[in-house]
Amino acid sequence: MRPIGANRDDDRSWQAPRFDGVPDISRLCVYCASSTPTNPSVVDATVTLGRELAGRGIELVYGGGAVGLMGLVADTVLDAGGRVTGIIPTDLFPREVGHVGCTELIEVGSMHERKMLMFERSDGFMALPGGLGTMEELTEMTTWAQIGIHAKPIGVVNVDGFWDGFFSLLDRAMDDGVLKPSNRELLLDDPDPVALLDRMIETEVTAEPKWLDLDQT
C-alpha cells in the first residue's frame, strides 16, 4: 500500500475512528457507481451530498475513481473546499481512472485491501445508487455491524426509490425469520442525503447478535 497522490493539505495525520455511543462522523465512506446514471435526481443527490460534506468539514473516503458518481462526489467535495481520500487497487487504476486530484490518493494491491482501508479510515458509511460493487460493499459493512465488528452508522440514499427492491428483499428475509428486525434496522435510508446524514449522526448503532444464546437451546 502506498500513497500516490497527496497534493492537498498533507499536514494532517490520520487517526483511528472514535466511538462512544452516538457517532462522531468526521470521515464518511461513500459507496457509489463508477458509471454516470441516466436519472438526473441521482446526480443532484450526489452533488448535494458532496457540498454538504465539505460544508460540515466531513472528509470523504471513497474508492478513488475519477469517473461516474465516484468522480462527481469527489470533485464536488474538492470544489467546495473539502478533503477527499481515495483508495484504489492498482489493477483498477486505468479502468476507474484514478483521481489524482484527491487530497490523498492511496494505491493498494487488492479489492480486499481497498475495502479494509476504507473501513478503517471511516466513521460511517453511506451508499448512493450503484451496481453490484456498491451493493456488495453495503451488505458487507452491514454484516460486519450485525456480528459486532463495528458500531458505525450505515445509510442509504434512496433516490426515487432506487433501493426499494433491495429493501423488499431484506423485509422478505425478516418475514421468513432469517434476518432479525433489529439488524434490518441497521440500514438507515432517506431520499435526501442531508437528512440521512443528520440521522446517521444522531443514531446510536446497536445490533442483536445473530448467533443463538446457548442457554436458550
Q: What is the pLDDT of residues 71-125, one digit of tens each?
A: 999 999 999 999 999 999 988 777 668 899 999 999 999 999 999 999 999 999 9
Write out the three cell numbers for 94.
486505468
Q: Dihedral sign for Cα 133, 98, 103, 35, please.
A: negative
pLDDT score, position 92: 77
pLDDT score, position 211: 54
Pairing mode, strands 187-190 and 124-127: unpaired
Looking at residue 194, its amino acid is V
pLDDT score, position 93: 73
Domains of the chain: 25-204 (3.40.50.450)
> Which SS3 state, helix, strand or coil, does residue 204 take?
coil
Alpha helix (H) residue ranges in 93-185? 93-96, 111-120, 132-146, 164-175, 181-184
Low-confidence residues of the chain, pLDDT below 50? 1-22, 212, 214, 216-217
pLDDT score, position 5: 44
